[in-house]
Amino acid sequence: MNATKVGLLSALVLVNIAFVIGWVWAARHYRMRERPGLADIAIGVVTDFLDTLGIGSFAPTTALFKFRGAPADELIPGTLNVGHNSSAFLETVLFVTAVTVEPVLLASMVASAAAGAWLGAGLVSRLPRRTIQLFMGVALLVAAFFFTLKNLGAFPPGGTAFALAGWRFAVAVSVSFLLGALMCIGIGNYAPLMIMLALMGMHPLAAFPIMMTSDGILQPVASLGFFRSGRFAHGPSLGLIIGGVAGVLIAFYIVKHLPLTAMRWLVIVVVSYAAVAMLRSARVASTGAPAAALE
């Protein structure tokens, strides 16, 4: 293992130590005593199982939370980042050594994504409920769009490179910063990252270590911002943590092949419905009208 990957894995461990300390502080400071329910754990198993297979976890989790009606919409972004952190850590450890990417590019994109997450978490923690509903409704539609592109085979094929230089390097690092910030409102970075790198001529496999390491570091960094504000749901986050580990291990060690295209179509339907529900909630909040059936 090269020095860059050792450094990134060391940083992963350090930020996760800070994650644990921050969560303990937040639980005491805000007197959080909520326990995870079986539904929270089940959602963690299912969504992180899907994430390990490359479908993603943020959009399905948001959809399932919206259908259940809990946690509150304004707590969902923080809950996603806090609750899915254990699976991001585990996926990083399992996957990051599998593919070799140019070390400077990998380290720069991961650092940029973490900086974006820190800024994004601070901004999202101060947004009003309706604004978060609007952002997350759009985020769900974006996820459904990317899932549809994937199923239709519309992703660019990519090239053979595992490194970038010049303006391509600068664009990749800048976009990584933006995607790190967008993770804080529920937009997963895998699909847009894969498309961007493919358009720049990189091998499709190059997205995996970048995505996994970025998620593994940016999620605990973003969580520190949500811990500071207390804007996350303690019980559901614990449930996602517990279930998420099981979901990753099942997908990685037991399940090797599934009809992913059919599964994505199902996710597209569920996520699209949840997007409509989230945007409808935002409209109801702006008009003061009573909630409709989609709520």
Q: What is the pLDDT of residues 86-109, one digit of tens each?
A: 888 888 887 666 556 778 888 898
What domain range is 92 assigned to?
3-287
Q: What's the confidence (pLDDT) of residue 285?
A: 67
pLDDT tens digits, one per residue of 187-246: 777 778 878 888 888 877 777 778 778 888 889 998 998 999 899 999 999 999 999 999
Q: Considering its fold, how many domains does the chain have in total?
A: 1
The closest of 108, 191, 117 to 156, measured between CA atoms, is: 191
Radius of gyration of the chain (CA): 18
Residue 23 lies in a domain: yes
- In this structure, what token pair is assigned to residue 213? 């390491």
| Inter-helix orientation angle 190-199/207-229, to 10° | 140
pTM higher than the cut 0.75: yes
Residue 167 lies in a domain: yes
Q: Which of 25-34, 187-196, 258-267 is modeled with the greatest confidence?
A: 25-34
Q: What's the confidence (pLDDT) of residue 134?
A: 87
Residue 293 lies in a domain: no
